[in-house]
Amino acid sequence: MSNTFRSLYPDQRLLMGPGPSNVHPRVLAAMARPTVGHLDPWFSGFMEDLKELLRMAFRTRNSLTFPVSAPGSAGMETCFVNLVEPGDEVVMVVNGVFGNRMMENVVNAGGRPVAVEFEWGAPVDPQKVDDALKAHPDAKILAFVHAETSTGVRADAAALAEIGRRHDCLVVMDAVTSVGGIPVEVDAWGIDAVYTGTQKCLSCPPGLSPVSFSDRAAQAVRDRKTPVRSWFLDLNKVMAYWDGSGGRSYHHTAPVNALYALHEALVMLSEEGLENSWKRHADIHLELKAALEGLGLEFLVPEECRLPQLNAVRVPEGINEAAVRSHVLNRYSLEIGAGLGSLAGKIWRVGLMGQTAQRSSVALCLEAMKDALAAQGR
Q: Are residues 352 and 260 in the same domain?
A: no
Distance separating alpha carbons of residues 255 and 60, to the nearest angstrom: 24
Asked whether the predicted pLDDT for residue 247 surpasses 70, the reply is no
Q: Has residue 1 been placed in a domain?
A: no
What is the predicted pLDDT for the residue at 251? 87
Range of the domain at 311: 14-19+273-374
Specify the number of domains making up the chain.
Answer: 2
Cis peptide before 41 (omega within 30 of 0): no
CATH code at position 345: 3.90.1150.10
Residue 158: strand, helix, or coil: helix
Q: Are residues 178 and 291 in the same domain?
A: no
Band of the pLDDT at 239, cuts 50, 70, 90?
confident
Residue 185: strand, helix, or coil: coil
Q: Are residues 247 and 281 in the same domain?
A: no
Label residue 180 exposed, middle or buried (CB < 10 Å: 0-12, 13-18, 19+).
buried
Q: What pTM does this model have? A: 0.96
Q: Are residues 246 and 314 in the same domain?
A: no
Q: Has residue 368 been placed in a domain?
A: yes
Q: Has residue 122 been placed in a domain?
A: yes
Q: Has residue 343 been placed in a domain?
A: yes
Q: Are residues 172 and 222 in the same domain?
A: yes
Q: Has residue 175 been placed in a domain?
A: yes
Q: Has residue 2 been placed in a domain?
A: no
Q: Are 95 and 118 in contact (CB under 8 A)?
A: yes
Q: Are residues 251 and 334 in the same domain?
A: no
Give residue-wise pLDDT tens across range 147-206.
Answer: 999 999 999 999 999 999 999 999 999 999 999 999 999 999 999 999 999 999 999 999
Give residue-wise pLDDT tens across range 61-81.
Answer: 999 999 999 999 999 999 999
Distance separating alpha carbons of residues 71 and 82, to the nearest angstrom: 17
Q: Are residues 288 and 193 in the same domain?
A: no
What is the predicted pLDDT for the residue at 189? 98
Query: What integer is the mean pLDDT of 320-332?
Result: 98
Give residue-wise pLDDT tens across range 250-286.
Answer: 888 899 999 999 999 999 999 999 999 999 999 999 9
Question: Across the chain, what does the average pLDDT equal?
Answer: 96
Q: Are residues 93 and 31 in the same domain?
A: yes
Q: Are residues 118 and 254 in the same domain?
A: yes
Question: Residue 153 forms beta bridges with which residues?
Answer: 148, 306
Distance separating alpha carbons of residues 184 and 178, to the nearest angstrom: 7
CATH code at position 38: 3.40.640.10
What is the predicted pLDDT for the residue at 188? 98
Across the chain, the runs of DSSP E, i.e. the strands, are 14-15, 64-68, 89-94, 112-117, 141-145, 147-148, 153-154, 170-174, 193-195, 209-213, 310-314, 334-335, 337-338, 347-351
Q: Are residues 219 and 293 in the same domain?
A: no
- Domain final position from 249, 270, 291: 270
Q: Are 79 and 62 in contact (CB under 8 A)?
A: no
